[in-house]
Structures are given as C-alpha cells and as structure tokens.
Amino acid sequence: MAAATDVVVVGAGLAGLAAARRLVDAGAEVVVLEARGRVGGRTLTLPAADGTPIDHGGQWIGPTQDRIAALAERLGVTTYPSYERGLNTEFRDGQAHRFDGQLPDDDPVSAVAMGQAIRELDAMAARVPLEAPWTAEEALAWDSQTVETWLQARVGSERARNWLREAIRSTLAAEARDLSLLHTLFVIRSAGGIAPLLATAGGAQERRFHQGAQAISIRLAESLDGRVVLGVPAQLVSHGEAGVVVEAEGRTVTAGRAILAVPPAIAGRIGYRPALPGWRSQLTQRVPMGSVIKVHAIYEEPFWREEGLSGFVVSDRGPVTIVYDNSPEDGSPGVLVGFIEGEQARSWARRNRADRRAGVLACLADYFGERAGRPRELLERSWADEEYSGGCFAGYFPPGVWTSFGQALREPIGRLHWAGTETATAWTAYMEGAVQSGQRAADEVLAAS
C-alpha cells in the first residue's frame, strides 16, 4: 500500500509521537511508521496477574522534566510520589547495612571522597556546552578517557569509587570503563547535575504514573487519529531534493520530509538511498545501547515498610545491584523493582531463566530477609533482546565518539531529520529527552517547509 503525506515519522516511541503531535497541531499531515505491534518503544506497561500496571521500561519522572509532565497532563495521565520513607540498605561484603539519607554515615573518609568527586564532576559538567559537547575547552582530554580512568586518578577511596560506579551504572546501564568522561559530563549537565539524576524526591525518581508510562504514548497515538501504523519496520529510506520515500514491510510512504525517531544504533540498521555520508554512518556504528534487565517481584503487601525500610538498596552483589519500592500508590500489592545493569546484565542475559530467577531471589532474600525470596510473581524484561531497541536505557558514547562524530548526531541530512532521546540536550537518555527531541525535530521540519 502506498501513501503520500507531508512528513513521515519512523518510530512511535515518545520522540516520534511528540514530533507527530506537534506537526499535526501546526497543520501538517503525518504518517508514523512503527516496527512493533505497539507504540511506546522503550516504555512498556503490562498488567501483573492481578491487573497492577507494571512498567517494564521507563517509569519515573522528576522536577525540571517539564515537557513529559505537560504531555502527560494534557493526556490525563496522572502521577504519584515514589515511596521513600524509612531506612535505605547498602549490601556490601555479604551483609546488609541500613542507613538514613543518601549515603551511609559509617565511613566519613569515603563520604568526603564521594562528595568531592561529585562536586568536581558537577563543576566539569557545567563547562560542557549542551548543543555541542565537542566544543568544550577540555573536550579532547575528557573524551580521551573513560569514567573509570578518571575515578582511578581522582578518587582515593575504593568504597567511594564503587558508589560512583554504581551511580553511573544505574544512570546509563553501562560500566564506568565503557563510557567517555565527556559523554558522562554531558549527561550530567543535561539533567542539571548529579543530585537530580540520583535523587528520588527532588530528582529523576520522584514520581510515577498511575496508569504506567506507556499510557502517554498510547493516548498520544489515539489522539493522532489513525496516523500511526503498527507492525511496519522501515527498511529503506530513499531521499533527494524532491522528497522522501520510506519503504516499510507492507507499506510505502512518500513525504516531503522524514523524521527518524529511533536510537542511533537502530537508525544505522535502516538502508538509505543514496547512502548516508560516511560521517553519519561512522557515528551510528559507534553509539551502542546500554545493557539492562528490569525485574519486578510482587508480594501480597510491601512488608519491608512495616520493618521501617524504604525498599531502596544499593548492592555490591549481583545480579540485582539496585532495588526500589515500586508498589502502586495504595501499597497493594507490594512491588520491588530490581535492576540488573551493565556487566551483570551482559553475563546474566546468557544464563537460562531458571538460573536468573534463582539469582534474583537470592539477592532479594539477602537484602530483605527470607520472605522477599518468595514473591507471588516474578517478572523480567531484558532490553538487549528487543529487536527494535537493542538495549536500554539509551545509546551511550564511548571515548572518542563525541569529538570525532558528535556533529553528525542531530544535523539533518537533506530532508532527513533525527530525533530520539539520544539527540536531546535536556535529560538525554530519559523520557523528557525523547519528548524534547521530537518537538525539536518537528520545529526543524516546520522551519524548513
């Protein structure tokens, strides 16, 4: 089937749908092609056995994430505060230590080292221009090292280094050794600092959606009134001065312009005629996706709350290294969400499901006692196994990529425009970044038309 329109959008995640919404609001005609049989991309909400909505992908929003908040509000998707009363847990050297506040207070030397490292990283991040990180004065030096080499050079306490490694892992689902320091500083700056990235109240984990995060995309797609086509992976994008033709499985769309709202690595799998310039192709060869398996354990009630625990854990044992209380607002049922990230996700993804299940339950029992090892339901989602995501939370930049290829990330190529959270300058890697990128790409198209 062939169709003609003003703009064809590839990808019905938050970025593609936000772009389409803005274009339609401005009077343009749009067709959105989505590979999967559903919208929402890296957000996915499925009911647990009792119907509780479970977010297997993106879920939290926080202060300064104004675009996603406004979009949700416009669509009637409501939020509630994440639960964080009670003591947090650090599991270290085979033992659970309970503590109040953001950091354990039993090791002042490491706490000081951690505070100093955070101040130093924040100060460096403030010197990264968001629109063009490669133009930072120290860009080359920062892009020539990993976060790991920086930690080893600058942070004296091994415990502080481990905390920072875990903070990085829980933000980017990659290891400190994988990440360009410049990229990490860019991510920090785009969120307004390290504290907003890590905090629950006052930070990125502050609120959740009653209906689940995917509800935003589902309602957005409904509002687009038949313009979103599901189950049609774009395979070939022909482009020239006259316009664009996107050939998807079973569907061809002719348009004035295209917005490709997919992660760089996924954009690199689509064919282009004529082929894209080498600098774009070499970028998309170099921005791998993070590695994460998200698990949910569901209990009759959040029993850890009665024991004075918040449900938050940071741990040095695998596979689950971070846990939060993810119960619905009324606390029924009790839900713990655990993240298997970075190297743990890479190695545990190769094990069988039964092994993984045993590994996860052993962690939860260590953190919260025997009862946590007997949930009534255990759910898992490995994002590297998703053909049209390739991993999560987002694409990240290893050393050398920003300074050699960064300019290719957002720059339109003729009638092709790029969106997706990786191209955002605010809250990149987050849902907020996805919405910002989609709206920016739509504005670019409107300005060019």
Ligand X SMILES: Cc1cc2nc3c(=O)[nH]c(=O)nc-3n(C[C@H](O)[C@H](O)[C@H](O)COP(=O)(O)OP(=O)(O)OC[C@H]3O[C@@H](n4cnc5c(N)ncnc54)[C@H](O)[C@@H]3O)c2cc1C
Judged by the rule CB under 6 A, the positions of this chain that interact with ligand X are 10-16, 33-36, 41-43, 57-60, 233-234, 261-263, 266, 270, 292, 294, 383, 388-389, 392-394, 420-421, 429-432, 434
By the 8 A CB rule, do 147 and 421 touch?
A: no
The gap between the terminal CA atoms of the chain, to the nearest Å, is 26
Is the CB of 28 or the CB of 266 nearer to ligand X? Answer: 266
Tokens of 381: 């989602």
**Two tokens at 139?**
């860009």
Minimum Å gap between C-beta 105 and ligand X is 28
Residues 93 and 316: beta-carbon distance below 8 Å: yes
Beta carbon of residue 140, minimum distance to ligand X (angstroms, whole number): 28
Rg over alpha carbons for the chain, rounded to the nearest Å, is 22
CB atoms within 10 A of CB 134: 19
The nearest distance, CB 83 to ligand X, in angstroms, is 15
In angstroms, how far is CA 277 from the centroid of its own chain?
A: 28
Q: Tell me whether residue 68 or residue 182 sits nearer to ligand X (CB atom).
A: 68
* 212 alpha-carbon distance from chain centroid: 15
Cβ neighbours for 429, distance < 8 A, ≥ 6 positions apart: 171, 172, 187, 393, 394, 396, 421, 422
Please identify, using beta-carbon distances, which residue of 19 and 408 lies nearer to ligand X: 19
Q: Which is nearer to ligand X, 12 or 54 (CB)?
A: 12
d(CA 145, CA 365): 38
Asked whether 33 and 246 are in contact (CB, 8 A), the reply is: yes
Residues in the chain, how many?
449
- Contact criterion met (CB below 8 Å) for 44 and 54: no
- Judged by CB, which is closer to ligand X: 161, or 207? 207
**Residue 95, both tokens:** 């033992």
Instruction: Quote the least distance from Cβ 62 to ligand X, whole Å.
Output: 8
Cβ-based nearer residue to ligand X, 303 or 388: 388
Which residue number, 139 or 262, has a Cβ lying nearer to ligand X?
262
Residue environment code for 375-391, b if the CB has 16+ CB neighbours within 10 A, otherwise e: beebbbbbbbebebbbb
Measured distance CA(432)–CA(436) in Å, rounded:
6
Q: Report, in Å, the least distance between residue 386 CB and ligand X.
A: 8
Using omega within 30 degrees of 0 as the cis cutoff, is the peptide bond preceding 274 cis?
A: yes
Minimum distance from CB of 106 to ligand X (Å)? 29
Between 104 and 264, name the residue whose CB sits nearer to ligand X. 264
Taking the complex as a whole, the smallest distance from the CB of residue 429 to ligand X amounts, in Å, to 6
Min separation Cβ 380 and ligand X, Å = 11
- Least separation in angstroms between residue 438's CB and ligand X is 7
Pairing verdict, β 2-10 and 30-33: parallel
Q: Which is nearer to ligand X, 159 or 207 (CB)?
A: 207
Residue 365 Cα distances to 297, 359, 409, angstroms: 11, 10, 44
Q: Which is nearer to ligand X, 7 or 234 (CB)?
A: 234
Place of tokens 């260590």: 366
Q: Are 43 and 56 in contact (CB under 8 A)?
A: no
